[in-house]
């Protein structure tokens, strides 16, 4: 139990053993490979390679998925559960491409920690930096894995310095690499005084471990050639002098990251990282909510939806809402209250994402992610409870940075288009605005690629070819304030007003000047770039 300084009560063992985290990385750093190895050691799959193979099979289903494959990006996020020793890991996948940062942001609201994967030859890349900043906003604990050590990589101190400098976080080595590239021998486990030797012959074989009695143990020389041993000992001495030692509390507070070195493809360093997640990663944390925070140890169930995925199975127009359980012990068939509508909802067929397949969840505990199939009642930001009117907060919707008009290829199909757009809006895949004047819709996204994905999905899933075209507007702001003030603004600026899919008023413009003007003329109102999903 490491959560000492926060004075939190001890959690029930079923909750305390859960570790819910995401992997953040720049594309190509090795997230997929690492995930595969996690699942392999988690006993969730029999053979490495299955995640990818399964991915391929799924992707052939539609052009949208094909596009994902062609571009080598992962558009949709999912959750996977597996056991590691006495721990239950919940790994929530984040889309890696920058165009999907909003989705990623919301995914990160559902985890307690992040594993940051960097490529040993490339160090901190642009996408790593962006995702890190998002984690920083929530002070998420971060564990770092420096991958591809079997290739020529950068000097170990350089890598550590770069993380410290660019990300402004203390870095403490949990392991230290011996040699690199072709000469990479393995790592010294600084936390447990063990030598881990990489087996190049078989990529799925777990490294040989040699217990070492401290750095002056003569056993080291039996396994490490003299010239490498000398350099290694020098480096470790320097590291111990210059770098901070592991402070578990500082890790939990997000101020320090331990770094492991390894090679995911060679299964090397992965188990040590997993042990690190178990030992230094946080237990399920309290969830901010209104009017009060939700603590994981509360006996009543509460959870919030952070992602909705529609049409996972194109044959059935189903949607799956991904809910993070914030408290309690959930059992299948439970009747929960859908706080937004105040209506009861029987959760009779929840899904637990056990690595290789979806499976019905009989039970789940605080920290777990379950999928709830539904017909559209559940939206991002929704809270389900056992009756209390409490609402999870901090799950934002960002103002889109790109706006385009959208038209159905066949004008007779306008109604169908509206339905498709509303669905994607509820899924969080885009913002959809209906301008007060004129017909048609304006679609807003955070990254340009999302337009292509949308067009492709609308055609695939609704058989509806669509055209996106330039819009006269470039910015959207939600209008926040008292009803009569909002009405005054709406009536005086009709050509700028639209409503989003929840019916909330939005101010559209192409000039910052307009936004400044409104803020000056209507001091009681706020034009907001984010909206809390509820």
Instruction: Give CA separation, 106 vs 140, 172, 173, 395, in Å.
Output: 13, 28, 30, 6
Q: Could you tell me the smallest distance in angstroms from the CB atom of residue 251 to ligand G4P?
A: 23
Round to whole Å and give the CA distance between 15 and 302. Answer: 14
Residue of 349, 454, 460, 337 whose CA lies nearest to 406: 454
Closer by beta carbon to ligand G4P, 77 or else 378? 77
Nearer to ligand G4P, 174 or 325 (CB): 174
Give the β-pairing of 497-499 and 466-470.
Answer: unpaired
Separation of alpha carbons 190 and 196, rounded Å = 11
What is the C-alpha to C-alpha distance for residues 442 and 417, in angstroms, rounded to an integer?
A: 12
**Shortest distance, position 117 Cβ to ligand G4P, whole Å:** 7
Cβ nearer to ligand G4P, comparing 182 with 520 = 182
Closer residue to ligand G4P (CB): 224 or 270: 270
Are the C-beta atoms of residues 533 and 392 closer than 8 Å to each other? no
Nearer to ligand G4P, 259 or 265 (CB): 265
291 CB-near residues (< 8 Å, 6+ apart): 390
Q: Is the peptide bond before 291 cis (omega within 30 degrees of 0)?
A: yes
Of 150 and 427, the one with the shorter C-beta distance to ligand G4P is 150
Q: How far is the CB of 217 from ligand G4P (least distance, A)?
A: 28
Work out how close the CB of 27 gets to ligand G4P at its nearest, in angstroms, rounded to a whole number: 4
Q: What distance, in Å, lies between the first and last C-alpha atoms of the chain?
A: 34
**Beta strand pairing status for 256-261 and 383-385?**
unpaired
Question: CA angle at residue 135 from 447 to 143, to 5 degrees?
Answer: 125
- Rounded to the nearest 5 percent, the helix, strand and coil shares of the chain are 30, 30, 40
Task: Tell me how far, at minimum, the Cβ of 277 lies from ligand G4P, in Å.
Answer: 18
Q: How many residues does the chain have?
A: 534
27 vs 376, which CB is nearer to ligand G4P? 27
What residues make contact with ligand G4P under the rule CB under 6 A? 25, 27-33, 147-148, 150-151, 263-266
**Closest approach of ligand G4P to the CB of residue 114, in Å:** 14
Would you say 35 or 471 has its CB closer to ligand G4P?
35
* Shortest Cβ 207–ligand G4P spacing (Å): 13
């Amino acid at each position: 139990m490491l959560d000492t300084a926060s004075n939190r009560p001890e959690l029930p063992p079923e909750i305390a053993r859960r570790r819910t985290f995401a992997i953040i990385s720049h594309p190509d750093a090795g997230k997929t490979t690492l995930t595969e190895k996690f699942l392999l050691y988690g006993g969730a799959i029999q053979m490495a390679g299955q995640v990818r193979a399964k991915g391929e099979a799924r992707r052939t289903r539609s052009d949208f998925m094909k596009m994902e494959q062609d571009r080598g990006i992962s558009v949709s996020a999912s959750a996977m559960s597996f056991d590691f020793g006495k721990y239950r890991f919940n790994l929530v996948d984040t889309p890696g491409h920058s165009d999907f940062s909003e989705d990623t942001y919301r995914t990160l609201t559902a985890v307690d920690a992040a594993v940051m994967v960097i490529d040993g030859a490339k160090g901190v890349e642009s996408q790593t930096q962006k995702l890190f900043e998002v984690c920083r906003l929530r002070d998420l604990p971060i564990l770092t894995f420096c991958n591809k050590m079997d290739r020529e990589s950068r000097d170990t101190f350089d890598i550590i310095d770069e993380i410290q400098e660019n990300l402004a976080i203390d870095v403490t080595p949990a392991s230290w690499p011996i040699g690199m590239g072709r000469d990479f021998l393995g790592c010294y486990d600084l936390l447990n005084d063990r030598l881990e030797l990489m087996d190049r012959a078989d990529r799925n074989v777990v490294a040989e471990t040699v217990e070492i009695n401290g750095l002056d143990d003569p056993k080291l020389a039996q396994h490490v050639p003299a010239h490498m041993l000398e350099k290694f000992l020098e480096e470790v001495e320097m590291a111990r002098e210059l770098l901070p030692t592991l402070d578990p509390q500082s890790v939990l507070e997000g101020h320090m990251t331990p770094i492991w070195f390894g090679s995911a493809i060679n299964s090397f360093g992965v188990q040590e990282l997993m042990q690190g997640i178990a030992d230094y990663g946080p237990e399920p944390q309290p969830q901010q909510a209104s009017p009060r925070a939700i603590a994981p140890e509360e006996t009543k169930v509460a959870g919030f939806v952070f992602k909705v995925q529609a049409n996972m199975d194109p044959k059935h127009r189903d949607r799956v809402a991904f809910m993070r359980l914030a408290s309690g012990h959930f059992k299948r068939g439970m009747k929960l209250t859908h706080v937004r509508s105040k209506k009861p909802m029987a959760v009779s067929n929840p899904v637990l994402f056990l690595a290789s397949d979806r499976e019905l969840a009989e039970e789940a505990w605080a920290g777990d992610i379950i999928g709830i199939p539904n017909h559209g009642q559940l939206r991002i930001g929704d809270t389900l409870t056992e009756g209390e009117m409490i609402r999870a907060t901090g799950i934002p919707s960002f103002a889109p940075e790109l706006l385009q008009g959208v038209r159905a290829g066949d004008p007779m199909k306008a109604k169908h288009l509206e339905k498709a757009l509303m669905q994607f809006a509820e899924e969080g895949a885009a913002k959809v605005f209906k301008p007060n004047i004129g017909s048609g819709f304006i679609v807003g996204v955070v990254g340009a690629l999302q337009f292509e994905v949308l067009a492709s999905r609308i055609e695939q899933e609704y058989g509806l070819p669509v055209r996106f075209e330039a819009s006269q507007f470039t910015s959207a702001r939600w209008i926040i304030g008292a009803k009569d003030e909002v009405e005054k603004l709406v009536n005086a600026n009709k050509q700028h007003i639209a409503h989003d899919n929840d019916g909330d008023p939005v101010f559209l413009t192409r000039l910052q000047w307009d936004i400044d003007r409104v803020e000056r003329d209507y001091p009681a109102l706020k034009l907001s770039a984010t909206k809390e999903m509820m």
